[in-house]
């Protein structure tokens, strides 16, 4: 196997326009856990909580809801999720101009990794800027 080609320069982190956390759950077994986690997040972080998807959607192979957040929220939200995921699987991915790479190559998991079909995503798209938050945090993280 040939050695991978060395990149001429590192990718700047400014490529990242925003982030998503996808919180997976089982509609019959762990929806209540997910609902409590969702409430806890909304009470503590300025984010956009997405719709519940009890059925598979997009590249996601399990029920989940999305948490969209700005770059400056990452440093507080992500460590908090590491401590509070309660056994749920969470996918964290950046939003750049390559949704496929964001999900398949550059994402990471909190909890157990579950199947993901990133190959259905476009290789190029406009990077998603942080969505308008819909939470009103009032508790410390
Ligand atoms: Zn996403």
Tell me how far the alpha carbon of residue 25 lies from the centroid of ligand 1, in angstroms.
Answer: 15
- Confidence label for 29 from pLDDT (cuts 50, 70 and 90): very high
Q: Which two tokens stand for residue 70?
A: 């700005």
Tell me how far the alpha carbon of residue 22 lies from the centroid of ligand 1, in angstroms.
Answer: 6
Res 62 pLDDT > 80: yes
pLDDT, one tens digit per residue, over 72-95 is: 999 999 999 999 999 999 999 999
Pairwise CA distance, residues 42 & 67, whole Å = 10
Does the predicted model carry a pTM greater than 0.85?
yes
Please say whether the beta carbons of 26 and 63 come within 8 A: yes
Domain-wise residue ranges, the chain = 16-120
Once rounded to an integer, what is the mean pLDDT over residues 107-130?
Answer: 93
Res 1 pLDDT > 80: no
Please say whether the beta carbons of 134 and 49 come within 8 A: yes
What's residue 3's pLDDT? 84
pLDDT, one tens digit per residue, over 6-28 is: 889 999 999 999 999 999 999 99
CATH 3.30.70.1240 holds for 16-120: yes
Pairwise CA distance, residues 108 & 111, whole Å = 10
Pairwise CA distance, residues 57 & 120, whole Å = 11
Q: Which two tokens stand for residue 41?
A: 């997040």
What is the SS3 assignment for 98-119? Answer: CHHHHHHCCCEEECCCCCECHH
CA atoms within 13 A on the CB side of 47: 27
Tell me how far the alpha carbon of residue 14 lies from the centroid of ligand 1, in angstroms.
Answer: 18
The H-or-E segment that residue 121 falls in is none
What's residue 139's pLDDT? 97
Once rounded to an integer, what is the mean pLDDT over residues 33-40?
Answer: 98
Once rounded to an integer, what is the mean pLDDT over residues 105-120?
Answer: 94
Please say whether the beta carbons of 91 and 78 come within 8 A: no
Tell me how far the alpha carbon of residue 107 lies from the centroid of ligand 1, in angstroms.
Answer: 10
Tell me how far the alpha carbon of residue 70 lies from the centroid of ligand 1, in angstroms.
Answer: 13
Pairwise CA distance, residues 125 & 133, whole Å = 22
């Amino acid at each position: 196997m040939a050695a991978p080609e060395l990149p001429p320069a590192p990718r700047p982190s400014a490529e990242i326009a925003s982030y998503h956390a996808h919180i997976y759950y089982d509609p019959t077994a762990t929806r209540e856990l997910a609902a409590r986690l969702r409430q806890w997040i909304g009470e503590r972080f300025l984010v956009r909580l997405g719709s519940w998807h009890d059925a598979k959607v997009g590249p996601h192979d399990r029920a989940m809801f999305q948490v969209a957040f700005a770059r400056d929220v990452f440093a507080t939200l992500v460590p908090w999720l590491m401590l509070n995921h309660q056994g749920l699987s969470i996918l964290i991915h950046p939003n750049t101009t390559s949704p496929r790479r964001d999900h398949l190559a550059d994402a990471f998991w909190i909890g157990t990794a579950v199947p993901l079909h990133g190959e259905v995503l476009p290789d190029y798209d406009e990077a998603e800027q942080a969505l308008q938050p819909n939470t009103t945090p009032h508790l410390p993280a």
